[in-house]
Structure 1
Amino acid sequence: MSRELLLIGIGAGDPDWVTLEAVRAIQRLDVLFVVLKEDELDDLVEARREVLGRHRQTLPRIVELNDPPRPWRTAPDYNAAVALWRAQRRELWSAALTAELGDDGVGGFLVWGDPSLFESTLAIVHEVLRDFSEPVELRVVPGVSSVHALTARHRIPLNRQGRAVQILPARLLADGMPDGVDDVVAMLDGKLAFNSIDPAGIDIYWGAYLGTPDELLISGDLAKVRDEIVRVRAEAAARKGWMFDTYLLRRR
């Protein structure tokens, strides 16, 4: 007998972005672990239900994991706050997998976008399974990431021939574009880093709520369109109560 844990990428928003491999994985689940964040959004909960409803006639057993608070948004020591949160998550998930995953059960997580890109689930699961006394086979099912959804919607390649692309958290843009890199994808930009860097010679390809009916797209010369992005972003966040966006900065 063997146990399996599946991390299933379900895409950045559009239910049609769930791959055939992901569908087969969803249909195999005995138990689904659902991480409930402290500020879980109704739109995301409903989207997850739609994915399950499309591809399962009967739902798997669902185990809810209440996510620890995320203190790094205000904590003075960012790295220490993240380390504490990861340790709390690891303890919670380890107890749940031990209790709920049978001797030959198939468990899984539905992961937004792709499990390997700007997603902590895979790293924490590796830590959890390392301490298990009995082996659990881990399988990762790729999904359509927000980065690829963004470039597809703007009809542009992610990389240009012979040039590197850097993907980074937007806080690392505080001093502008990295040296020697002409194409940068910024994630998690709650502080509008694109609006504070030198825009000379840079184009931006911005997208929000990618793959959903509320999708927003703006592109152009950063100096000319950044005020529009700030305005549209603020209006959308006020209307919906939340904001998921990402963008590519491209030096001309």
Structure 2
Amino acid sequence: MTRRLALVGLGPGDPELVTVEAARVLNEVDYFLVADKTASHPGTADLIAMREAICERHVAGEWTLVPVPDPERDRDDPGDYAGAVRDWHEARAQAFERALLEHPGDAAILVWGDPALYDSAIRLADRIVERGVVDVTVEVIPGLSSVQLLAARHRLVLNVIGGPITITTGRRLVDDAVDHDNLVVMLDGALACRDLPDPAAWHIWWGANLGSPGEQLVAGRLPEVAGDIWERRSAVQADQGWVMDTYLLRRV
């Protein structure tokens, strides 16, 4: 029998930022699956606890959360980044597949932020379908992203009038900044904006752990605030055991 697999975007972590649609779907499925990274990153237990708080707030009656141990990604060969990610996605698909086989009924994968933006949940579900071991129908429930919350916290319009937005990663930032003047940067653990050849030409709006109690915000000319951003980022990492940050760079 075909089962339902819902990929539910929960937003950045604040229970108040969960959409009405997401809350409805959480009440329709039998259990929730969540990637569990605590074996290799103990500080990420907070990420599971925040999902539990969302379920407690929005799900009527009893609910079941099933942690799925998250396979480690090979980070030793930066030259084969794409291959390492593909292998990791395959291992994740198998892990979630095992959880689905062990737990009958309809399920929801609890996705941080929005499933469509720098998240592997949709690729994960597609791989489960392709493998054909579990018969599921996949649906995607959008969620508020950290990018939207960053703009709201800083009272920003992400685009300039009539202009484009480039969404990129820290890995690609230096190259992308050559031809683009308005960039949203994600997945940047090294704060690559500090390596831009013309830092004085940029204004930055930065946020970390948006929607959580440890939220941090900084804005200003890049050379003037980059040091403060790095210090705050390091402090959040040390205090909470995890940090998720994003920022907007705009050429002055």
- Answer whether TM exceeds 0.5 for this pair: yes
Q: How does 1:187-206 map to 2 (within 5 A)?
A: 187-197=186-196, 198-206=198-206
> By how many angstroms is 1:95 displaced?
3.0
Q: How does 1:137-216 map to 2 (within 5 A)?
A: 137-175=137-175, 177-179=177-179, 181-197=180-196, 198-216=198-216
> How many aligned positions are there?
247
| Equivalent position of 1:78 in the other structure | 81
Q: Which amino acid aligns with 1:47?
A: M
> By how many angstroms is 1:111 displaced?
0.5
Q: How does 1:1-252 map to 2 (within 5 A)?
A: 2-37=2-37, 38-39=40-41, 41-72=44-75, 74-76=76-78, 77-101=80-104, 105-132=105-132, 136-175=136-175, 177-179=177-179, 181-197=180-196, 198-252=198-252
> By how many angstroms is 1:2 displaced?
4.3
Instruction: Deviation per CA, 1:82-141: give whole Å up to 9, x if none.
Output: 22211211222223324434xxx3211111100111100111111211332775321111
Where structure 2 has 5 or more consecutive residues not aligned to the other structure, the ranges are none
Identity of aligned residues (%): 40
Q: What is the CA–CA distance in structure 1 between the aligned matches of 2:235 and 2:124, rounded to whole Å?
A: 35
| Residues 44 and 219 of structure 1: CA distance in aligned 2, closer, same or farther (over 3 Å) | same
| SS of alignment partner, residue 118 of structure 2 | coil
Q: Which amino acid aligns with 2:77?
A: A
Q: Which amino acid aligns with 2:244?
A: F
> By how many angstroms is 1:174 displaced?
3.4
> By how many angstroms is 1:176 displaced?
6.0
Q: What is the CA–CA distance in structure 1 between the aligned matches of 2:49 and 2:133, rounded to whole Å?
A: 36
Instruction: Deviation per CA, 1:187-224: give whole Å up to 9, x if none.
Output: 11111101111213211000011112221111111122
Q: What is the CA–CA distance in structure 2 between the aligned matches of 1:178 and 1:91, rounded to whole Å?
A: 40
| SS of alignment partner, residue 155 of structure 1 | coil
Segment drifting more, 8-17 vs 49-58:
49-58
> By how many angstroms is 1:250 displaced?
0.7
> By how many angstroms is 1:161 displaced?
2.2
Instruction: Deviation per CA, 1:25-50: give whole Å up to 9, x if none.
Output: 11111121122113251321221111
> By how many angstroms is 1:183 displaced?
0.9
Q: With structure 1 as the length reference, what TM-score do the two structures score? A: 0.90
| Residues 58 and 157 of structure 1: CA distance in aligned 2, closer, same or farther (over 3 Å) | same
> By how many angstroms is 1:149 displaced?
0.6
Q: Check whether the contact 1:52–1:59 (CA below 8 A) recurs between aligned residues.
A: no
| SS of alignment partner, residue 71 of structure 1 | coil
Instruction: Deviation per CA, 1:13-70: give whole Å up to 9, x if none.
Output: 2110001111101111112112211325132122111111112243334333111112
CA RMSD of aligned residues (A): 1.9
Q: What is the CA–CA distance in structure 2 between the aligned matches of 1:174 and 1:139, rounded to whole Å?
A: 36
| Residues 134 and 64 of structure 1: CA distance in aligned 2, closer, same or farther (over 3 Å) | closer
| SS of alignment partner, residue 171 of structure 2 | helix
> By how many angstroms is 1:228 displaced?
1.8
Q: Check whether the contact 1:19–1:143 (CA below 8 A) recurs between aligned residues.
A: yes
